[in-house]
Amino acid sequence: MDDDQYGSDVLSGDWRSRGVKKVRQVPLERDMVLEDPATGWAGAVVRLEAGNVELEDWKGRRRAFPFSGQFLLEGELVTLGRPTAPVGRGPRAAGAGAAGAAGSLASVHADWRPGAAPAVRQASGGGRLRTASGSFAVEAQRARVALPSRIMVEGKHDAELVEKVWGADLRVEGVVVEELSGVDNLADVLDEFRPTRERRVGVLVDHLVPGSKESRFASAVMNGKWGAHVLVVGHPFVDVWQSVKPARVGLTAWPTIPRSIEWKQGICQALGWPHAEQADIARAWQRILGQVRTFADLEPELLGRVEELIDFVTEPRA
């Protein structure tokens, strides 16, 4: 019998941490969006006081959590380090009401940058990383040289959402996403781009439903001179905002806005958010975008269409 079956010293070294993945520590920042994994409460950092970090959700509700605890940051479990700049702030301006919540979430995800779509670990993935779109992450691979084909979307918000969820996949494939600044410009853009079998164009259109202006534009393009090398698909939502599941912003359903009211302004008004200026609309979108972590936070009507476009523009040329 071997009397030394457990080694010379079972207490030597950091035995408690063996085989345990270390949790990354990130410096706390004001407006950083965190989620408490135990309760699901998510909000922007507004205060650090008495050993607690205070989070404010989109409705302006606040809740404090132990600073020493663990949080989810873009789907990654992290611990918090001491902030490098002051976090706390004064009380909300008098009369701001529920709309004042936008102040704390004006940059709902301060760390998010274009080109930085996070990889997240699937709970049942056996340790293998997946991208935000759900595909397996290709680690240690540089982005490919851009393909001649393109994916085009209507506007900035569409592009930012596609980047956040599919950015890692698109860089691996070498696919560039361009903004159209409105589907009305599609025909002119295609005439300038001149699609071919080797230079295909996939187009994502908002509110592509029978009888809509968008459906008429799409039909004209698909039946036009570039139709053989262009794929136009769309989702049924009035705006890409609606493709984010309403539960991510605390709703059971997106509000119905009368046609007499500009849709995004109406949404902000219904939610009690500032909406008088374009900057208010931009901040509102950042609040919504900040709540998108992975493909699971988006409606399937958008997911399938984007995947279809990626397949179309990356199809082998032979």
Amino acid type, 299: E
Q: How far apart are CA 183 and CA 205, in angstroms?
A: 7
Q: What is the pLDDT of residues 216-267, one digit of tens each?
A: 888 999 999 999 999 999 999 999 999 999 998 888 999 999 999 999 999 9
Q: What is the pLDDT of residues 35-46, one digit of tens each?
A: 888 777 777 888
Place of tokens 């600073």: 67
Q: How far apart are CA 35 and CA 32, in angstroms?
A: 10
> Closest Cα partner for 58 from 304, 305, 291?
291
Cα 304 to the center of its chain, rounded Å:
16
Q: DSSP secondary-structure letter at 81? A: E
Residue 124: pLDDT band (50, 70, 90) is very low
H, E, C per residue of 283-312: HHHHHHHCCCCCHHHECHHHHHHHHHHHHH
Q: What is the pLDDT of residues 146-184, one digit of tens each?
A: 678 899 999 899 999 999 999 888 888 888 899 988 888
Residue 132 CB neighbours (<10 A)? 26
State which H helix or E strand residue 160 sits in. helix 156-173
Amino acid type, 183: V
Report pTM: 0.59
Q: Which residues are bridge partners to 37 per DSSP?
A: none
State which H helix or E strand residue 220 sits in. helix 213-222
Give the angle subtended at the CA of 300 by the CAs of 102 and 157, to the nearest 5°: 40
Given a contact cutoff of 8 angstroms between Cβ atoms, the answer to whether 241 and 289 are in contact is no
Averaged pLDDT score across all residues of the chain: 76
For residue 59, the model assigns a pLDDT of 61
Amino acid type, 95: G
CA end-to-end span of the chain, whole Å?
67
Given a contact cutoff of 8 angstroms between Cβ atoms, the answer to whether 182 and 205 are in contact is no
| Backbone φ and ψ of 166, nearest 5° | -110, 5
Q: What is the strand order of the sheet 42-49 is part of? A: 24-27, 76-81, 70-73, 33-35, 42-49, 52-56, 62-66
- Report the top-level CATH class of 119-244+292-314: alpha beta
Q: What is the pLDDT of residues 100-119, one digit of tens each?
A: 322 222 222 223 233 334 44
Contacts of 211-215 with CB under 8 Å at 24 or more apart are 213/183, 214/183
- Rg, the chain, Cα only: 23
Q: Which two tokens stand for residue 255?
A: 């509000």
Given a contact cutoff of 8 angstroms between Cβ atoms, the answer to whether 44 and 108 are in contact is yes
Place of tokens 């005439």: 191
Where does CATH 3.40.1360 sit in the chain? 119-244+292-314
